[in-house]
Amino acid sequence: MKKIINDPKQVVDESVAGFAIAHADLVRVETDPIYVVRADAPVAGKVGLVSGGGSGHEPLHAGYVGYGMLDAAVPGPVFTSPTPDPILAATKAVDGGAGVLHIVKNYTGDVLNFETAADLAAADGIEVRAVITNDDVAVKDSLYTAGRRGVAGTVLVEKIAGAAAQRGDNLDQVADIAERVNANARTMGLALTPCIVPHAGEPSFTLAEDEYELGIGIHGEPGRERLKLEPADKMVDRLLGPILEDLPYASGDRVLLFVNGMGGTPEVELFIAYKHAADVLAEKGITIERSLVGNYITSLEMQGMSITLLKLDDEFVELWDAPVQTPALRWGR
Amino acid sequence: MKKIINDPKQVVDESVAGFAIAHADLVRVETDPIYVVRADAPVAGKVGLVSGGGSGHEPLHAGYVGYGMLDAAVPGPVFTSPTPDPILAATKAVDGGAGVLHIVKNYTGDVLNFETAADLAAADGIEVRAVITNDDVAVKDSLYTAGRRGVAGTVLVEKIAGAAAQRGDNLDQVADIAERVNANARTMGLALTPCIVPHAGEPSFTLAEDEYELGIGIHGEPGRERLKLEPADKMVDRLLGPILEDLPYASGDRVLLFVNGMGGTPEVELFIAYKHAADVLAEKGITIERSLVGNYITSLEMQGMSITLLKLDDEFVELWDAPVQTPALRWGR
């Protein structure tokens, strides 16, 4: 296992401590229990947004804490859900009197622990709503999930719902927008290599030198099938096909095209994939109005990518373009 | 070789074509010869900044084209200098009448080809100055360089000199600031794994499962020594030691601490390294006033990192904080 770490058991604590120093202008970090919160939290009168989940997907979620996006992120151990305790603490810390929205990727542990935290927060008089993201079209159920997995679409939900909260929408309005983004987003991913969870010390799965896994989850859990390596354009076709059919997306639609790196794939490859995806969408009469290309929700050092389409309307575009100031997404302010 | 590519010979062309579509709001791309230029170039009366070099280091340099940073970037083939022809074309394209600054990493091919392009531009009546970056403390000469290599400090030179040009400094002033940033920046890197140049198809070097290379260059060229894997804190000590001694940096100094990923190292590891570097600097009485952590100058999918220190003064801080709007660095506007 080749990693820049000290004690495998201290990976998350040490990393978050570094993150806190590097981004002290935007966030502060609580350590007992551990969570990352906007430096100016709670923002009075604003709906608070809390997300979280296992670590190893950085910059998700802590990288999205700040003005116009999340109010707090709760990092669990690598690829393991945080317990209800820090989720509850984060929920309380961001409650500015307008209620709190939990944005939860559909993984069984996350869903359960966020639910428990929401119940405890409600008992303390905080109004909480939850949105479960489940944008992955690859598999119906998976190793860690009943129903579809919540993957890269979550980044778009956090940005757009975060902008809605920032402009002053109430809890029901912010939750409805988050639900609507999730309902209009579809994702599928692939992996060329596995990744190694530090405390496990060995790859989560194996792939032959000439194979890749289509429909992979963000923890390396199995996808649809194992295929022989093929050209990038063909890989993109295999991701885009099921995505386009699923909503479905159709000629005349306006979309955000999001090509996400799994952590170990160089940017030069992501833009090759983006290019072909753009060509395919153009052929189908689908207009790309916004784009996002880079490592935004990762699986440690896994080589691979996912493609996400979000069907846009005027409100989504306005909220996407709205100012955001977080460690990993920053513009317009 | 596991990569998301089509034809290895088309990697740069296809990737840049995708980049052009994804970032059409900020840049446009010329294809014959190939270069990336600010959408609004040339900016009348502003000094133009041009950088470039072999591809495979993304987001450097094309990711830094835009308001407040570079006016153009010239991508060569992977790990190979661009020829004078596209450098000349880019220089002409960004000349707003106030002259053009070339920012060139100290690699022999880049230095020669930028010199030739500058001579040709001068013959066409464009005033050109060049700044050669050489911030790498690891080795005196290397496989591709006479003198020290230009590495991650280049990103800081481009940002700060770009801000000086944007505020209206003249060519000599912008060049002087670029020289001064380079003179106050020191970098050293390490690699845990090699990378594979697409048209070569195999790793540029080999490292045993328990080894890393200290003092690596950004093309995988050899560094100082090969060491057995050790804890992150020890690796950081081995990078920071030579950096601190070299300028030298001393108690009372204000610095920008830049922990850069080589492409294949997850963010969670970079922040662990950042944390220890911050602790070491605090012990030495050196104040971190600004930070940058992430993949900003890479070596394809190489796992590894570099650490850069820039000694700050008030002007550097003001120019660092100034608005920037590029694909890879965006804030304040």
In single-letter form, the type of residue at position A145 comes to T
* Best of A271, A286, A290, A326 to mutate (most B CBs within 10 Å, chain B): A271
Cis amide leading into A203 (omega within 30): no
B106 and B230 fall within a common domain: no
A-B contacts (CB, under 8 Å): 187
- The reply to whether residue B264 touches residue A15, judged by beta carbons under 8 angstroms, is no
Nearest residue to A178 (alpha-carbon basis) of A214, A220, A238, A133: A133
- The reply to whether residue B2 touches residue A271, judged by beta carbons under 8 angstroms, is no
Query: Under 8 Å CB-to-CB from A4, ≥6 apart: which residues?
Result: B192, B232, B235, B265, B269, B270, B272, B273, B305
Which residues between 128 and 167 in chain B have a beta carbon less than 8 angstroms from any beta carbon of chain A? none
A192 vs chain B: nearest CA distance in angstroms?
Answer: 6
Structure-token match 């599928």, residue found: A188
B142 and B243 fall within a common domain: no
Tokens of B2: 């596991």
The residue of chain A nearest to residue B62, with distances taken between CA atoms, is A268
- The reply to whether residue A15 touches residue B271, judged by beta carbons under 8 angstroms, is yes
Q: Which domain holds residue B193?
A: 185-322
The residue of chain A nearest to residue B208, with distances taken between CA atoms, is A2
The residue of chain B nearest to residue A257, with distances taken between CA atoms, is B22
Using the Cβ of A2 and the Cβ atoms of chain B, whether some distance falls under 8 Å is answered with yes
Q: Is residue B213 part of a domain?
A: yes
- Which candidate in B57, B61, B102, B276 is catalytic? B57
Q: Is residue B333 part of a domain?
A: no
Q: Residue B187 and residue B137: Cα distance in Å, rounded?
A: 6
Q: What letter would DSSP give residue B114?
A: H
In single-letter form, the type of residue at position B276 comes to H
* Residue A333's pLDDT band (cuts 50, 70, 90): low
The residue of chain A nearest to residue B13, with distances taken between CA atoms, is A272
The residue of chain B nearest to residue A63, with distances taken between CA atoms, is B267
Residue B11 has pLDDT above 80, yes or no: yes
- The reply to whether residue B59 touches residue A301, judged by beta carbons under 8 angstroms, is no
B91 and B137 fall within a common domain: yes
- The reply to whether residue B273 touches residue A4, judged by beta carbons under 8 angstroms, is yes
Is B117 in contact with B123 (CB distance < 8 Å)?
Answer: no
Using the Cβ of B332 and the Cβ atoms of chain A, whether some distance falls under 8 Å is answered with yes
The residue of chain A nearest to residue B235, with distances taken between CA atoms, is A4
- The reply to whether residue B22 touches residue A331, judged by beta carbons under 8 angstroms, is no
Using the Cβ of B208 and the Cβ atoms of chain A, whether some distance falls under 8 Å is answered with no
Quick: pLDDT tens for A178-200.
999 999 999 999 999 999 999 99
* Best of A64, A272, A290 to mutate (most B CBs within 10 Å, chain B): A272
* Best of B267, B320, B333 to mutate (most A CBs within 10 Å, chain A): B267
Bridge-based pairing of strands B100-105 and B128-133 is parallel
Q: Is residue A229 part of a domain?
A: yes
Q: What is the per-residue pLDDT for B120?
A: 98
- The reply to whether residue A288 touches residue B5, judged by beta carbons under 8 angstroms, is no
Quick: pLDDT tens for A99-134.
999 999 999 999 999 999 999 999 999 999 999 999
Q: Residue A141 and residue B267: Cα distance in Å, rounded?
A: 29
Quick: pLDDT tens for B59-78.
999 999 999 999 999 999 99
B169 and B204 fall within a common domain: no
Quick: pLDDT tens for A130-167.
999 999 999 887 777 889 999 999 999 999 999 999 99
B219 and B111 fall within a common domain: no
Backbone dihedral region of A100: left (phi > 0), alpha (psi from -120 to 50 degrees) or beta? beta
Bridge-based pairing of strands A211-214 and A225-228 is antiparallel
Q: What is the per-residue pLDDT for B18?
A: 98
Using the Cβ of A70 and the Cβ atoms of chain B, whether some distance falls under 8 Å is answered with no
Decide which of B65 and B144 is more confident. Answer: B65
B228 and B142 fall within a common domain: no
A78 and A22 fall within a common domain: yes
Q: Is residue B327 part of a domain?
A: no
A230 vs chain B: nearest CA distance in angstroms?
Answer: 8
Q: Residue B332 and residue A223: Cα distance in Å, rounded?
A: 41
Quick: pLDDT tens for B172-231.
999 999 999 999 999 999 999 999 999 999 998 899 999 999 999 999 888 899 999 999
Quick: pLDDT tens for B266-300.
999 999 999 999 999 999 999 999 999 999 999 99
Residue B12's CATH number: 3.40.50.10440
Is B57 marked active-site? yes
Q: What is the per-residue pLDDT for B220?
A: 86
A123 and A266 fall within a common domain: no
Mean pLDDT for A220-234 is 94
Q: What is the per-residue pLDDT for A146?
A: 84
Decide which of B58 and B142 is more confident. Answer: B58
A208 and A223 fall within a common domain: yes
CB-nearest partner of B18 from A19, A212, A274: A274
A125 and A205 fall within a common domain: no
CB-nearest partner of A331 from B2, B19, B330: B330
For residues B302-323, one letter each, b for 16 or more C-beta atoms within 10 angstroms of the residue's C-beta and e for the rest, the string is: bbbbbbbbbbbeeebeebbebe
- The reply to whether residue A2 touches residue B193, judged by beta carbons under 8 angstroms, is yes
Domain finish residue from B163, B183, B203: B183
* Residue B142's pLDDT band (cuts 50, 70, 90): confident
Using the Cβ of B125 and the Cβ atoms of chain A, whether some distance falls under 8 Å is answered with no
Using the Cβ of B85 and the Cβ atoms of chain A, whether some distance falls under 8 Å is answered with no
- The reply to whether residue A325 touches residue B331, judged by beta carbons under 8 angstroms, is yes
Q: Is residue A6 part of a domain?
A: no
- Which candidate in B61, B102, B219, B276 is catalytic? B219
Using the Cβ of A268 and the Cβ atoms of chain B, whether some distance falls under 8 Å is answered with yes
Residue B333 has pLDDT above 70, yes or no: no
Q: What is the per-residue pLDDT for A285?
A: 98
Mean pLDDT across chain B: 96
Using the Cβ of A192 and the Cβ atoms of chain B, whether some distance falls under 8 Å is answered with yes
* Best of A9, A268, A291 to mutate (most B CBs within 10 Å, chain B): A268
CB-nearest partner of B293 from A14, A22, A212: A22
Using the Cβ of A123 and the Cβ atoms of chain B, whether some distance falls under 8 Å is answered with no
Domain finish residue from B153, B183, B213: B183
Q: Is residue B309 part of a domain?
A: yes
B227 vs chain A: nearest CA distance in angstroms?
Answer: 13
A96 and A162 fall within a common domain: yes
Mean pLDDT across chain A: 96
Q: What letter would DSSP give residue A277?
A: H
Residue B300's CATH number: 3.30.1180.20
Q: What is the per-residue pLDDT for B143?
A: 73
CB-nearest partner of A232 from B6, B16, B293: B6
List CB contacts (< 8 A) between A75 and chain B.
none
Which residues between 299 and 318 in chain A have a beta carbon less than 8 angstroms from any beta carbon of chain B? 300-301, 303, 305
Q: Is residue B20 part of a domain?
A: yes
Q: Residue B301 and residue B262: Cα distance in Å, rounded?
A: 7
Structure-token match 């969570």, residue found: A35
Using the Cβ of B62 and the Cβ atoms of chain A, whether some distance falls under 8 Å is answered with no
Packed helices B267-283 and A11-22: angle between N→C axes, nearest 10 degrees: 70
A130 and A272 fall within a common domain: no
Q: Is residue B47 part of a domain?
A: yes
Domain finish residue from B132, B150, B183: B183
Query: Under 8 Å CB-to-CB from B326, ≥6 apart: which residues?
Result: B26, B63, B64, B65, B66, B67, B68, B69, B70
Number of domains in chain B: 2
Which residues between 238 and 257 in chain B have a beta carbon less than 8 angstroms from any beta carbon of chain A? 257
